[in-house]
Every structure is written in structure tokens, then in C-alpha cells.
Amino acid sequence: MPDIAEEQSQQLQLVEREDIEDEEDLFEAIDKLIAHGINAGDVKKLQDAGIYTCNGLMMQTKKNLTGIKGLSEAKVDKICEAAEKIVNYGYITGSDALIKRKSVIRITTGSQALDELLGGGIETSAITETFGEFRSGKTQLAHTLCVTTQLPTSMRGGNGKVAYIDTEGTFRPDRIVPIAERFGMDASAVLDNIIYARAYTYEHQHNLLLGLAAKMAEEPFRLLIVDSVIALFRVDFTGRGELAERQQKLAQMLSRLIKIAEEFNIAVYLTNQVIADPAGGVFVTDPKKPAGGHVLAHASTIRLMFRKGKGEQRICKVFDAPNLPEAEAISFFFCFRS
């Protein structure tokens, strides 16, 4: 018995214990600018604005940077020049791009059938969006990923922590417990490695994203969940008169998500709602489409459509993906215990 307990203990200390010797640093800390002649006070201003890496700095426009209090155009030019010496954001060869792709981690969904459809699981450095009606499995997959992300990479996990932004009040920590037990993990340790925030407005949702950079620069995160991405935008903006502003704000938030995914090599998992499609016509059996329009469609790397099957069975269909076959449907099951 002591040997079994010891084996379990070693397995459960996932994020802290597993050594990844060959993995290179995925980002350069912003304080490295100091060694290139940038004032420490100016670096602090960048951090206060939510910029904690040189990679993240290079993803900002000069307009945004000059909007930071205390940073003039001359200072911004000097900062960007120093960052370019640290981070190469120019052209690379296709061979180098292929090598860079090898840093992508695929996190198991807990379902063999779904993993096979996704080519191994949810990808890091990408946005995976699922849409479907209520109780089609979107949030259940989010809860499952909270656990599987913490598995070691040798067990098809991400060996990292999870950030969960909840816009609809659907996160249930008690649902994490049976999922953790299914994978032989300590539920308390799993819950401790999840940081959770409840968002109440679209502005609050965006501000929560800005605060994540500091945490992700210091700790090994591998997954960001936003459940759901569109809910607060549909509440806070009403009518056609506010549609243009809504889509602009949504685009800004999605841009932030894309940058987080690539800057820290994390998987971003979004759930989305569906709306009736009046143009669906009488020949369409299920005239619904994902909310968010073209703005959300272009931001998502992989789009998955979920629908209910028989009993606890759920159907997943690849709606759009750059490297997966389209219109392929599969059946899978999730544990719906609460």
C-alpha cells in the first residue's frame, strides 16, 4: 500500500514536478529591456498596462503604447527598437515555422473519439470555439479540460494551470471532483491549479484578460476558458443601432485572446451560443448558426458544432478548421455527473 500511495503522490504533483528539459523559453520577460537601455520606470509603466513580455509588446500598435501615461512617441520608438533586438518578429523560413509548430501541445479532451477528430486534442497557440444549444456538452468539455490540462504531457495533458472566465455562472467546482477522480488525480490539487473569475459586463470580461498576462508570465498556464464569449456582449449591446459598436468591442477582445494564445503558447477554449438563422430556409433541418457573426468566425482557429444525441451522447462536427477535414461528425460521451 505505501508504494501505491507514493506512486499516486508522484503522479499528482503535476505542474510543479514535471521537468521539461528540452522546451525553450516561449517568451522574453519585459524586464530584459532594462539591459538594452530602457528605464526601469518605463518598464514598470508597461507592466501596469498589462504588458509583461517583449513578445506581447511587439503585438501592440505604437498608437496603443503612446496611449500609456508617461510614454512619449520618442520613448515608444526606443522601447520598440530595444524589443526588436530581443525578439525576432520578422520573416522566418518555412522550416523554422515547422520547428516552431513543434512547440504546440495537444491537450486531450478525455474522449478518444473527440481526440481523433481533433488530431489529438485541443491545440495550444490557437482558439478553439464550440457552439451549440443548451446542454449540448460545451461547458462539460470546459470542465473536463480543466482537469486534463493538468495531466503531464506524457499522458496527453498540458502540464499547466487553467484560467477560467465565467460569464454565465455555469462553473461548478464540484463537477471537477469526479472528473479528477476519473483520471486518478487529487481533486483538491486540481482545483488549486484553476484560477476562476466571474465576469458581469463585457468591460469586466476584457479587464480580466488584461490582468492575466502578469499571472501567465510567472506561472505555467496552458489553458484559458471563456464560457461563454458572446453572452455579455448580447446583453450589454441591444438593437441594430449598437451592433457596429458591439462587433468592434468584440473584435478587440478576440484580438487580445489571439495574442494571449500565441504569446504564452496556451490553448484558448471558447463556448458560444447559437441564434436562429432566418435565411436557413425550409430545407435546412436545424436552421441555427453561431452568434458573433464574421468577427468571431474569423478569430476562431477551430470551430466545433455540438448537438445532443441519444441519452448522454453528444455529436461533434468540425465546422471550420485549417488542418482538419470539414463536415465530419462523430459521437462521444461525457460524464455528466455533478
Give the tens place of pLDDT for each residue, 308-333: 888 778 889 888 888 887 656 777 66
Which residues, given as ranges, of the chain have pLDDT below 70? 1-26, 277-287, 326-328, 332-338
Which pTM was predicted? 0.84
Q: What is the pLDDT of residue 28?
A: 87
Q: What is the pLDDT of residue 232?
A: 93
Q: Smallest Cα–Cα separation from 176: which of 309, 335, 49?
A: 335
C-alpha cell at 278: 432566418
Phi first, then psi, for residue 289 (nearest 5°) are: -140, 160
Q: What is the pLDDT of residue 210?
A: 84
Gyration radius of the chain's alpha carbons: 21
pLDDT tens, residue by residue, 287-313: 578 889 899 989 999 999 998 888 778
Rounded CA gap, 287 and 30, in Å? 48
Rounded CA gap, 43 and 265, in Å? 23
Rounded CA gap, 189 and 150, in Å? 10
Q: What is the pLDDT of residue 312?
A: 76
